[in-house]
Amino acid sequence: MTIPDAFYDENGDKLHEECGVFGVLGLDDASALTALGLHALQHRGQEAVGITSFDGIEFYTRRGNGHVAANFSSSEALSELPGNMAVGHVRYSTTGGAGLRNVQPLYADLASGGFAIAHNGNISNAMTLRRDLVTKGAIFQSTSDTEVIIHLVATSRYPTLLDRFTDALRLVEGAYSLICTTPEGMIACRDPLGIRPLVMGKLGDAIIFASETVALDVVSAEFVREIEPGELVQVSMDGQITSHRPFRNARSRMCIFEHVYFSRPDSIIGGRSVYQVRKAIGEQLAIEASIDADLVIPVPDSGTPAALGYAQQSGIPFELGIIRSHYVGRTFIQPSDGKRHADVKRKHNANRALVAGKRIVLIDDSIVRGTTSLKIVQMMREAGASEVHFRVASPPTEHSCFYGVDTPERSKLLAARMDVEEMARFIQADSLAFVSIDGLYRAVGEAQRNAARPQYCDACFSGDYPTRLTDLGDREAAVRGLATVDE
């Protein structure tokens, strides 16, 4: 099957989180601990990394493209970041695009002093706010939506920095988990729906904030609690902690894809083990979409916990029928179908001796464009599998995300263009099934999805966006304009 070039891009066929954040206050060589914490969050962003530190007098920033290890493994690099307070960020670009000027933390000298900010999420009215700020004379140094927050803080007329920061957040829409540093200390907060995660920990007298609990584990810190939706936690330089609730009617609608794919399996999200939830999703899949088969095989690595759950529930043996190379970087645009196919084989190779002549069930976390799924199915058939059945540990991804997840425009999402039977034919599987949205909710501990008041943000499956999407019309117009230029 020849697949249109429009369905290929350098980001592959997976959903990508935008970033991970980590901050520490009250520990000598805070930047070294921050680098270690960012290592644990590398899966949330592999394009660029940055750290900003404060020694009580000056702020210091170091940023670079690539992984944490490539930028912060040497003592020389960390010696450029002195102080007992630091904030760090790993990035996969969505809003703003690539480029060193968009690498966070972003820093500015405000009237009240230095201000550094690291942001996980996406501001869904950033374009509108930016236009208004530029009209009033603001000069932007990046194309990141995060810089809008800095300008809103700088132009607020409230007397204290905390009040100006709160005033700025009341103007923004969308998703954000933020860690900010100022000469007075550190501020951490989540948006009123808590769409993106953020946790607090302690290491001795030091206070730590991170996107996931695994980062606390790696630095040997104690988990204290999650930052609540709409909560703003202020930590002074002497370690005093104050909690503020500036938003009314804050309630949780955390991104359910944190459980499906984004978070590391050894993290705890919403009080639940991510690994156990993924196994439970696989169990639900086996209940809802059983099939006679000889082997259950995960698409590595993200499909593995769900495949274990499916195998245990169904009684079909679990085997590693696909071996993944961990030494292959991001898939880039290839000039021909043959080279694209070879690129997939560099990442994944069939365990031919195991799958030949077998009826297999492939388990993956999602189908986005469908191109990777097609090539995996073809690889299994070439290895001699007699039947290939595809099972997906999430509902069909029919809608784009506007809250910090890099998704294609809706017209390129396979589930937005085809029903399940058509998708099965497209990926050339003998059968295809997705876990139901109620089954997904059961796996995360809910009886079912409350349609009137959903417990999670599941807009990529349901189209039920929990906030206004002020910039959506502008984005769609921009896409239409680019399409016209391309034509």
Active site residues: 19
Query: Which residue shows structure tokens 């907060």?
Result: 189
Is there a cis peptide before residue 301, judged by omega within 30 degrees of 0?
yes
Q: With contact defined as beta carbons under 8 Å apart, do 62 and 95 qualify?
A: no
Strands (E), 147-239: 174-182, 185-190, 199-203, 206-210, 222-226, 232-236
Residue 14: name the closest of 280, 275, 324 by CA.
324
Q: With contact defined as beta carbons under 8 Å apart, do 479 and 434 qualify?
A: no
Both tokens of residue 400?
Answer: 């784009």
- Starting at the edge strand found earlier in the chain, the sheet holding 295-298 runs 295-298, 359-364, 387-392, 431-434
- Rounded to whole angstroms, the Cα distance separating 44 from 40 reads 9
Q: With contact defined as beta carbons under 8 Å apart, do 48 and 64 qualify?
A: yes
**Tally of CB atoms within 10 A around 265:** 16
**Half-sphere exposure (Cβ direction) of 404: Cα atoms closer than 13 Å:** 30
- Rounded to whole angstroms, the Cα distance separating 233 from 215 reads 19
Q: Assign 274 to helix, strand or coil.
A: helix
Q: Is the dihedral of CA 189, 456, 269, 265 positive or negative?
A: negative
Distances (CA, A) of 231 to 188, 246, 415, 456: 8, 7, 36, 18
Residue 66: Cβ-neighbour burial (10 angstroms; 0-12, 13-18, 19+): exposed
